[in-house]
Structures are given as structure tokens and as C-alpha cells.
Structure 1
Amino acid sequence: MGPESEAFEVLLALEKAARAPDFHLLDLSEVFNTNKWSAIRNIENDVDPFSDDLEHEIMGADLTSRFMASAHQIDAIVSMSSVLSKFANELQMRFKRARESISAKLSDGSDGLPIEIVTKIFQFAVWAEGRNGGNQAIRLSQVSRRFRNVALASRSLWATLCSYDSPSQLETFISRAGPHEEYHAFARYDSHIHSSGIDWFVNSCQSIVPHWRTMTLTQDEKVRVSDPPVIGGVSVLLGVLSSSFNERGLHLPMLEKLDVRGHSKDLYVTVERDSYEWAPNLRSLRCWFTLLSPTAALTSVTTFDFTQIITDRFNAPILPLILLLKFLGFLPNLTTFSLTLHGANEFVCDLALRATECPSIVTFRLQLRGLEAKIDHQPQRSCLASFMNALRMPSLENINFSLGFVDTGVEMEDEAWSRVVGDLSIALMPKHLSELSQPTSLYYFLWLDRGNSLVTEMQEVPRDNRAFYIPLDRIFSIRNLIISSWVRVQFIKEASNLRKADFSERCRLRELKFVGCENMTGADLSSIVSSLVREFDVWKNIERVAVEYCTNVADEDLMRIIGEEKLHHPARGIEKSIQVMSGVSKAL
């Protein structure tokens, strides 16, 4: 492919991204963050790319060569971006006039719609904009007189408050929403808050702070890379907000959701004096790359979503997971725990962590991003394994493991790759999980992490003999098993001393489902069933098997391999539902 074709692919990629249904929800400053650029990653292990003295720090032929390649690459990107922006701006101006005219006509055409429907449409349009919801409400109110009347009559459209809105804008939004509406607050740690604080924002919102339903904290990337660098943006922001609430005696009894979005390359220090007593009814908590201070005030939290990178930037890579376990100990009523980790299987940790019991967790979702299967990896001695051994969830009913691979393993022998990933599956299911007393559902989802820079969007899923090994003796407690994998699946046993009778007696598996297994063939499915029959003697206990969106398995193979009695047909379930709904409609 020549340079012209390569450059044209940039336009195609931009157009494809622009067509994505949730594009408007993306934080583009995070998506295009400098830490995602290969030009930066190419040299950041040797020098600080943002140093003012960069030209004097680059020494040696190899580093100089890599730096020059990065510099030329950035020059080319700027050149392409400049030309693209020029043409895009021209097209935008041409389309804008036509769009405004069409919008006016559409507004006139909406006269036949009931006010209730138009109001609902407006609400969806505003909510979809997130932190920019207030500006969306303004745009809707400016389309036509009817739209303005509808927008002004719907108070919830004006309930989005942002720290980067002007005081006059905030006053307008609060006036239009009124004192009794549920508000959604967004605060971003930027250069203005860094220099002037957050008091002005709290003062502007003071009358309705008790009516905040959700609060989202973010930080500006430009502040993090400033000179001198600002460390702990969202952590600092939460601290000053907490102080501001306490100084004014403010309580947020309606606040149910707190979303704290840190930066992957920042370092955060929790402030022990923060007690968060101003949020007594918090239900949902989400944290990216930072944690709140462990405190008894968080006992009301029932849903917790945490994202972290395990890296050697910390003195001990296991440290974030140790802090996480400590934090979980302060959430006794937590029922749903979602955890996303980057690099958790790469670092060896022989430290036995103190067991932390989370008595109320019913649903546990673990997503591993950026997975690479390498010969020297030891998943069963990793930070992840230590964490999973320490995390005790006696009430667990639903487990979801999402494994995103950045490499397809083409540089390893098939069997070696399968063994490493098999060791990972063992690390994910420590023995205490296999001994749960209540019936449990388990979902394995193996996928190519195409959002990672190491995997191209068009990279094909390879077809070879690699397999995802699932140790059956580690999932004895599982009743419902769902598997979605881009490599074939094979059940194995970890403990060599277990007999066939042990599996038959102890395995609780009753439902088995394969969804979107791209590489699974009829022969692979037959091999799975054969092993469950001959090696483990558990097939007789399985009541239902479903195979959905596995394009390489023919329908006739399903019937032959699984049999009519066990085979579940999703289509038949849909037909039955349609028949039931049809009967209900006739009855009405």
C-alpha cells in the first residue's frame, strides 16, 4: 500500500469513528491523549518527551534515530490534520446553513407531535450530551418559538451544571430548572480551578447543592503536563470540594452517584481527613486510577466500578491492589463490583495478601485490558493472582471475566500460548471461588482489544490450534457457564489426582452456552462434548446447551452433536414470546 492509500485510510478511519452511535459521548481529550501516541511511547522510556531541555537529553545514535522518527511522524500528522481541518471547516460551513434551514422545517413539521413526546425527545437529546447537556438545552431552545416554549417548560433539561460554565450561565440554568429539580454536577480540575479554587462554583450552586443527584469529577490533561506538573488533579479537586461543602455546612442527601475520573499517568494520594459525611446516601461510586479515602461514611455504597493500571511506576506494582482491598473493607453493603485492570498479569508478586471479605457482593465483573501472553509470564504468581486469592465474596452469584488481548500470540507456539492463558484462567478462579455454596453463573469473554494501539482495527482473528483452557475442577460451583472466545475452547483438569467420579459428583454445571465463538467448528464442539462425556462424566448432568452466533458451526452439526433434548434454540424462544405477546394483544 502506497503513501497515498495510507493517507486516504486516515480519512476513512475518521469517517468511521464519526458514524459511531455513541461518538458524542466520547471524551476526545482522553481518546487522543498523548500517552496513546506511538511517537511518545517510542522515546518515553529513555527521556521525558515534555522536558524543556529535551534536545540536551537525547544522546546516542539509537535514541536520536527514534526521536527523529517520532518528530517526522508528528510533522506528518500535523500536516494531514491541517489539510483535513481546512476541508472539514469548509464543508461544515456549507452544511451548517442547509442544516439550520432543514431544522427550522423539521421544527414546523413537529407541530403535530404531542408536547409530551417532544419533551421526551428533548430529554434524551440533553442526557446524551452528558456534561454539555446545558448547552444542548440552549441550542434546542433557539431552534424555533415552539421548541423554546417546550424547552423552558421542561425543568429537567436545565439541570446540568458544570464548573467551566460561567456564573451567569449557572444562574440561568438554576433559575430555569428551579429549586426542586434533581441536578447533575460536573467539575473539571483545570488551570482556572488550580489557580482560583472551586469556591466560586459552590457559591453559584449553593442553593441547590442539596439537590445534586450525581457528581462527576474530571481533570484537564494540560494541567497534568504543565511546568511544574500538577499531581493528583481529581484527588485535589475532590478534597477542595469536600472542604468547601464542610465550610458551608452543606449536605447532599440526594447524591446517589459519584464518578471520579483520574488520569492513567497521574499519581494520587488520598487525604485521610476526607470523611465524605456530606454524602450520606451515596449508592454508586466509580473511580478511575484513584481511590477515595477509606471511611465509614461510604457504607451506603452498593455499586462500585474501579479502573487501574498495574505498573512499575509504583514502588511495588501490587500497591494499588493492596489499597483497593483496604478500600473494599469499608464497603460492607457492596453488591456489584466492577474492576478493570491494565497489566495485572505482567508483574510477579509472591506476597500473600491478607484476605478481605466482601459479604454482600453478588455480582463481580473483571475486565483485563492489554493482555499479552508471553513465555516469561507467570499468571499464577502475578499481582492478579494475589489479589484474587485475597478477595473473598461468599455471597457471589454472578461472575464475568472479560479478557482483552493486544496480541494474537502469533509469535508463540500454539501450545505455549494456550498454557499461559490456561494458567491465567486458573489464577482467575482460586479454590475458594470453586467452593461457593450457592449456584453461580460464570461468563468468559475473550476478545481482541482493538481499542489498544497495539491492535489494528482491521486485524483479523487468526485461525489456528490455540485454545482457551478452562480447568473444570476450578468451576465446580458454576451452574450456568457462558463462553465467547476467538480461540477454541477446551476443558481440562488442574488437579491430577481427581477421578472421573469426583467430577461427576461435584460439578454443578447445568447450562452451557457458546456465543460468538468465531473459530469454533463442528469438530471443536464435538471435541468439547466428547471430553465432558468421556473424561469428566458430567455431560449427563447438563440440562441445556445453546450455541449462538458461531458461524462455523452448521445447524445439522448442532443437532447431531448435542441432541434434541439438550439443544436450546434461541429462535424458538423468540417465536414463543411473539406468540404470547400476540395472544395478549388479542385479549386486550
Structure 2
Amino acid sequence: MDVLRALEKASTSTKPGEVEKACKKENWEVGQNADLQLFATGHAERPMDAETLSVLSLNACRVHSMAGILKALLETASELQREYERCLTPVLSKLSKGIAAIPDELLALIFKHNAAMYGRKQAIRLSHVSRKFRAVALSEHDLWTTLHSGARKEEIEAFISRSGRDTGLHIVVRNHPRHSVSQHFLETCLAVSSRWKSVEIEESFTSTDRPAEFESIIWKMGGASHLHLPRLEDLRITHLQDDFGPGHHHSGPNLLKISWTSPRLHVLALNNFSLAHSPAFAALTSFEYALELEPLCGAQIKNILSILGASPNISHLRLEMSHFLCLVLDEYRFPEVHCPSITSLDLRFQEYTFSDGAEGLIAAFIKALHVPDVQKLSLAIHFRFADVVNHIVTKDVGNEHLTRLSDALIPVANIRSSLTTLAYKFTYDNPRGWKNAPKIFWGTFPIHLDRTPNVSSLTLTTYTGVRFTREEGAVVPSRLHRLHFRGCNRLNGRGVIQTLKATGVWNSIEEFVIEDCVDFKSAVTLDAVGKDEIARLLGL
């Protein structure tokens, strides 16, 4: 019905007061008849003729019909109004009371999210807002589970008391020369060690002697064979870098070996701190290791491989190496380890420099690490700015370095048949004062698709050129369906597509994404693709 649709439209598109103004009777067509005003007020000076009677009678019928329609609309609208009021009144009544109307269960969830964002002290702040807040905060044991070494004695005791008897605890240790860990904190934490769910340790010192406070928690734990941590799932240790040399790796013969039992320890993350393999790591599923390489880094790499070789359940490995410039040229040889459980591998090389030592180290490490079932591989290299702008690195020299790097990352004899997702990321930082690099690095990175035959998704971020290769006469069809270029500063779209077509891979591409590529020339690339191929990609 048109009048109903018009009424619904008017209810959402008119401003306050507009309806009253528009509905005055002089705005109605039937209300604009001059004879109506004369005869209705009795001011007519002549008798009503037949024509006037006919017009007024017709308009009277129209007004009678309008009144009937409006009456029906009013009755229906009033009924709908009452139904909506019955539905919304209880809710609006509660909301009008403010936060006091929020159920305790919902308030507790809000508190947990809030405390996770703003740290352990937020639980204390929330408990001081009101009696209601305090009651809810004290009833939620999870708000009081973080024991921080920087907290006062009274706070530690209050947190343990309010966390209940069986809730998992999160131990956070910050041990620095000016802020050492108190003996009371260590003793209190060790007394509830059976409830530890995660341990996060951060320490820094400049001398070669370990401070007694740090020994009390790590070295005491390492020597306490009776210590049983049935709930520990996550262990993270970080040594903050100082200005006096590389990180404190403990990579020598006296490498710390912890001897506690932790059957549920799934995540181990070490940053500039090394541990010897221990039975405590038997259940690991995720291992993250970041380290600065020492000039003679053989012991460091062997330590990593020993942990991997003795941890049969690791599925995710993230390894970050830095400080390649200091490496002493060596003929690297490492014992081979087989890790069939690893399905996700994330390798990051920071401050990488083009040198025989750096390339040899990566090649030897990749050769020693056997991950036949890896499905997701991420390779990120952050280059030294000096290498990027080095005027000695000509196009031929750059190609030579990048070819050796490509062979080191994915060796010709190491076919990744289970790999389905591959990502390369090559970056560098401009130092302050350099708005743009004075000379662009010349070189092209080759990607050998025949070494990753089952990769379906490939993502690249690079400042170098890119060239795809594949063995001539390959009969196995390519499985590469998605190709994503992100932030590629020197992407030659025409050249990339030509190499994809030359290798017989282009026909398998279903999704071709180019994102934030500075020098990308869209017209040239689209011309290289061709109209028929564009139609295929668009599904036309």
C-alpha cells in the first residue's frame, strides 16, 4: 500500500516539527477550496449552486476516506508502539541505572580483558573503585595470578592469597643491576612452584659474573632436581643487550642445564640466552630462539641443533640470528638433525652482510637441519645499509651474492615437497639523514620453483629484482595458485610475468596481487599479461 510505504519513509526522513508544519489544512489539496471556507463559516453571500455542491460533496467523501485510513493506521501504529515498549522497557530500565546494572559475570569478563591490557596493577586499581567492583575483582582469581619481582612484599602475599588455591600463576622476573630481585620474592615463588603456568625472566648485567639474585631463581632451579613444575607451559628468558659486548649466551662448556621436571612445557623462547638441552624440554611444541652470533659461533649453532634433535614434538620453530659482520671465516660443519615434527619454520637473519662467512653459515645450518614435513616457511633477511649502497657491488656481483643466498636458503638437493606456503622478505633501514639511498642495489634474486613443487601460495617483499626459474622440460604441473608482491621497490612486472610464462607456471596462477610496489608500472605489466589472461584471472 503506497500510503503505508510513504508513512514509513516519512518516519525516518523528517525532522522534528516538519510533520506538524506540513500537515496544516491549508497544505491539503482538499483544504484549498475557497468555497469551503465561505460556506463552512456562514459568510457566503450567495446560495450554493449545483457545481459547488458537487465539488464539495466529492471532497467531503475524500476527507471521510482519509480519516478512515488514518484511523486504521493510528490503531495499528499504536498497537506496534505498545509491543515495542513491552519489549524494550525492561532493558532500558536496567541501562538507565548505569554500570551498576551490568551482571557480575559480564563485569568479571571486562575486568579480565582490562587487566590483560594494562598490567597486573590494574587489578588493584579496579578493586579500589567501589564496593561492587571490589567484590567482583576479589571473586575472580585470574586477576591476581601475576607475581612480579618488582612488587612489594605485601602485594605478592595479597596476590597469592586472592588467586585461590589452585589457579595457575605467572611469574615475571626483572633482574637488573639497580633493581635486583629480593630473596623474599624468590622464596615465595618457589613455595608455590607447583602452580607455575608461565615464567618470564628478563635480566641484564655488564660483568661476566652472574649476580646472586639471578642465580637464585635460574641456577637454583637448574640445580634443584627435586623441583617439579606440573603446570608450567611457557618459559621465556631474555638477556637485554648492554654497551659492553654481545649477549650473555653461556655457550661454552659450562652451559646451564636445568634439571626440573615439566611435563607440560610446550613453549620455550630464548633471547640472547642459551640453555643446554634438558629432559624438561621433552614436550616442547614451539621453540623460539634469538641470538647474536659470536665470531666463532659453532658452539651456538650446535646447541640449537642439539635442542631440536632431542625435542621430538616441536611443530613450530622460529630462529633469529644477527651480528653477521663479526663472523670469522670458517668451514662450518654441523651434525645433522632430523625434525619430522616441524611443520612451521620461521628463519630471520638480522644485520646480514654479503660475505663468504655469512653465506657459508646459513648453508651449513640449512643443510644440517632436516625438516621434511615443513608446510609453512618464512625467510626474512634484514640487510646492512652499507651493503645495499656499496658502490663495489655491481650488478654481476649482486647477482652472484643473491644466487648463493638463494641456494643456501633452499639447496638444490633439498626438495621441499610438503611445503605449501612460502614467504620471502628482504629489507633494510635507511639511517638517519638519508632520505633516499644514494645508489640502488643492483641484483636479482632467483626463486627456484622446482625446489618447492607443491607451493600454492608465495609472498615476496624485496628491494631486489626477482626472477623465477624451473627445470627445463618439467612435466609436473605447477601448483602455484597465489602470488603476492608486497612492498617490492624494484618490481619489474613485465620481467616477472615473462619468467613465469617461460617456466610454464603462469597458467596455474589464480590470484596475482601487487601491493605497495613503488616502481611498479601497471600499464606495462597489464600489457605483458595480455587481455585473454586478464579475463581468465577475473573469471570473465
State TM-score, norm by structure 2: 0.70
1:400 Cα deviation from its structure 2 partner: 0.2
CA–CA distance in structure 2, aligned partners of residues 380 and 272 of structure 1: 25
Partner of 1:183: 169
Partner of 1:253: 230
1:404 Cα deviation from its structure 2 partner: 1.6
1:357 Cα deviation from its structure 2 partner: 1.1
Partner of 1:203: 187
The yes-or-no answer on 1:514 pairing with 2:492 is no
Contact 1:559 1:567 in 2 (8 A): no
Could you tell me which runs of 5 or more consecutive residues in structure 2 were left unpaired when the two chains were aligned. Answer: 1-96
Match of residue 472, structure 2, among 494, 500, 522: 500
Alignment deviations for residues 263-301 of structure 1 (CA, whole Å, 9 cap, x no partner): 443434376784544312100100112222212331100
Alignment deviations for residues 216-252 of structure 1 (CA, whole Å, 9 cap, x no partner): 1111x3xx136x75479967742213445x4xx4422
Match of residue 386, structure 1, among 361, 364, 375: 364
**What secondary structure does 1:307 align onto?**
strand
CA–CA distance in structure 2, aligned partners of residues 513 and 262 of structure 1: 39
The yes-or-no answer on 1:125 pairing with 2:125 is no
Partner of 1:174: 160
1:490 Cα deviation from its structure 2 partner: 1.9
Partner of 1:294: 277
CA–CA distance in structure 2, aligned partners of residues 444 and 180 of structure 1: 45
Contact 1:235 1:290 in 2 (8 A): no
CA–CA distance in structure 2, aligned partners of residues 556 and 116 of structure 1: 58
CA–CA distance in structure 1, aligned partners of residues 151 and 191 of structure 2: 17
1:323 Cα deviation from its structure 2 partner: 1.6
Question: Which AA in structure 1 matches 2:237?
Answer: V
Question: Which AA in structure 1 matches 2:534?
Answer: E
Alignment deviations for residues 132-157 of structure 1 (CA, whole Å, 9 cap, x no partner): x3322212323444433332232211
Match of residue 532, structure 1, among 485, 495, 500: 500
Contact 1:300 1:333 in 2 (8 A): yes
CA–CA distance in structure 2, aligned partners of residues 117 and 202 of structure 1: 35
Contact 2:419 2:452 in 1 (8 A): no
Contact 1:379 1:427 in 2 (8 A): no
Match of residue 336, structure 1, among 316, 328, 333: 316
For residues 127-146 of structure 1, what are the structure 2 equivalents within 5 Å?
127-129=116-118, 133-146=119-132
CA–CA distance in structure 2, aligned partners of residues 273 and 487 of structure 1: 41
CA–CA distance in structure 2, aligned partners of residues 437 and 232 of structure 1: 50
1:185 Cα deviation from its structure 2 partner: 0.7
Highest Rg: 1 or 2?
Answer: 2
Shift in CA distance, 479/110, structure 1 to aligned 2, threshold 3 Å = same
1:532 Cα deviation from its structure 2 partner: 2.1
1:472 Cα deviation from its structure 2 partner: 1.4
Partner of 1:545: 512
Partner of 1:485: 461
**What secondary structure does 2:235 align onto?**
strand
**What secondary structure does 2:534 align onto?**
coil
Alignment deviations for residues 345-376 of structure 1 (CA, whole Å, 9 cap, x no partner): 76333132221111211010011111234xxx
Alignment deviations for residues 296-347 of structure 1 (CA, whole Å, 9 cap, x no partner): 33110010000011132xxx23321122112211111111000011034763
Question: Which AA in structure 1 matches 2:302?
Answer: I
Partner of 1:430: 411
For residues 300-379 of structure 1, what are the structure 2 equivalents within 5 Å?
300-312=283-295, 316-344=296-324, 347=327, 348-373=329-354, 377-378=355-356
**What secondary structure does 2:475 align onto?**
helix
CA–CA distance in structure 2, aligned partners of residues 486 and 295 of structure 1: 39
Matched positions, count = 431
How large is the Cα RMSD of the aligned pairs? 3.5
Question: Which AA in structure 2 matches 1:399?
Answer: L
Contact 1:472 1:492 in 2 (8 A): yes
Shift in CA distance, 484/426, structure 1 to aligned 2, threshold 3 Å = same
Shift in CA distance, 525/477, structure 1 to aligned 2, threshold 3 Å = same
**What secondary structure does 1:487 align onto?**
coil
Partner of 2:136: 150
CA–CA distance in structure 1, aligned partners of residues 287 and 466 of structure 2: 33
Of 229-238 and 344-353, more deviation after overlay is shown by 229-238
Shift in CA distance, 465/118, structure 1 to aligned 2, threshold 3 Å = same
Match of residue 373, structure 2, among 390, 395, 406: 395
Shift in CA distance, 539/278, structure 1 to aligned 2, threshold 3 Å = same
Shift in CA distance, 195/124, structure 1 to aligned 2, threshold 3 Å = closer
Match of residue 446, structure 1, among 411, 426, 442: 426
Shift in CA distance, 487/509, structure 1 to aligned 2, threshold 3 Å = farther
CA–CA distance in structure 1, aligned partners of residues 400 and 256 of structure 2: 47
**What secondary structure does 1:431 align onto?**
coil
Shift in CA distance, 202/279, structure 1 to aligned 2, threshold 3 Å = farther
Partner of 2:390: 411
Contact 1:378 1:420 in 2 (8 A): no
1:447 Cα deviation from its structure 2 partner: 2.2
Shift in CA distance, 232/324, structure 1 to aligned 2, threshold 3 Å = farther
Partner of 1:3: none
1:422 Cα deviation from its structure 2 partner: 3.6
Alignment deviations for residues 489-537 of structure 1 (CA, whole Å, 9 cap, x no partner): 32155xxxx8521xx335745124224224255xx11111112223x33
CA–CA distance in structure 1, aligned partners of residues 178 and 275 of structure 2: 23
1:407 Cα deviation from its structure 2 partner: 0.6
Percent identical across equivalent pairs? 21
Question: Which AA in structure 1 matches 2:390?
Answer: E
CA–CA distance in structure 1, aligned partners of residues 453 and 399 of structure 2: 24
CA–CA distance in structure 1, aligned partners of residues 199 and 357 of structure 2: 37
Alignment deviations for residues 445-477 of structure 1 (CA, whole Å, 9 cap, x no partner): 122347xxxx34985578847344124167333
Question: Which AA in structure 2 matches 1:405?
Answer: F
Alignment deviations for residues 407-461 of structure 1 (CA, whole Å, 9 cap, x no partner): 161223451334323422221112343x1332432100122347xxxx3498557
**What secondary structure does 2:465 align onto?**
strand
Contact 2:416 2:453 in 1 (8 A): yes
For residues 565-584 of structure 1, what are the structure 2 equivalents within 5 Å?
567=537
Contact 1:467 1:489 in 2 (8 A): yes
Match of residue 198, structure 2, among 211, 214, 217: 214
Contact 1:179 1:207 in 2 (8 A): no
Question: Which AA in structure 1 matches 2:230?
Answer: P
CA–CA distance in structure 2, aligned partners of residues 240 and 546 of structure 1: 54
**What secondary structure does 1:269 align onto?**
coil
Match of residue 239, structure 1, among 208, 219, 223: 219
**What secondary structure does 2:120 align onto?**
helix
Contact 2:221 2:258 in 1 (8 A): no
**What secondary structure does 1:214 align onto?**
strand
Alignment deviations for residues 155-201 of structure 1 (CA, whole Å, 9 cap, x no partner): 211110022323321110011111122211112334599797x5x33
